[in-house]
Amino acid sequence: MNFQTHEGRVAVITGAAGGFGQAFCVGLAKRGADIAAVDIQDASETVEQVRKLGRKAIALTADISNPSAVAEAGAQIRSQFRRCDILINNAGIYPNRSFDDLDYELWRKVQAVNLDSQVLMTKAVVDFMKESGWGRIVNITSNSIGLAAPG
């Protein structure tokens, strides 16, 4: 294995159907990684871009705030790749609502997607990393904590 590239590695990226998630998928594929693109939306466009680079890729449609959906995604990753070397927890939601319009259900959904999913996804793949003796987990967050944005 060449440690100057990601050749032979498998990367799992959430929020992979577009934006930064798609860019992470394509960038890691350019460096030799195979990709599991996880999103609640269809990530087939991302998978197509990765495959054009000669890498193996699968799209997993899953609500990563749902523990059983994450467990199923983990099983599919094991079935298809038998490993996960890199996990990028990129998915997040930011519904711009005033506090007066924020109900508890939406509050819980934001917490589940932006925070709980990072724990769920890590638990779904950490055994792969332990088995291979190598792994990297990257948790993406926003800078909104330091902004005085409306809503």
pLDDT per residue, tens digit, the chain (151 aa), is: 555 789 999 999 999 999 999 999 999 999 999 999 999 999 999 999 999 999 999 999 999 999 999 999 999 999 999 999 999 999 999 888 888 999 999 999 999 999 999 999 999 999 999 999 999 999 998 776 666 666 6
- Helix ranges, 44-149 (H): 44-52, 67-81, 104-111, 117-132
Q: Which two tokens stand for residue 129?
A: 């990393």
Sign of CA dihedral 143, 67, 10, 80: negative
Which residues sit opposite 37 in a β-bridge? 13, 59
Total-model pTM: 0.92
How far apart are the C-alpha atoms of 134 and 126, rounded to whole Å?
A: 10
- Domains (ranges, CATH) in the chain? 10-141 (3.40.50.720)
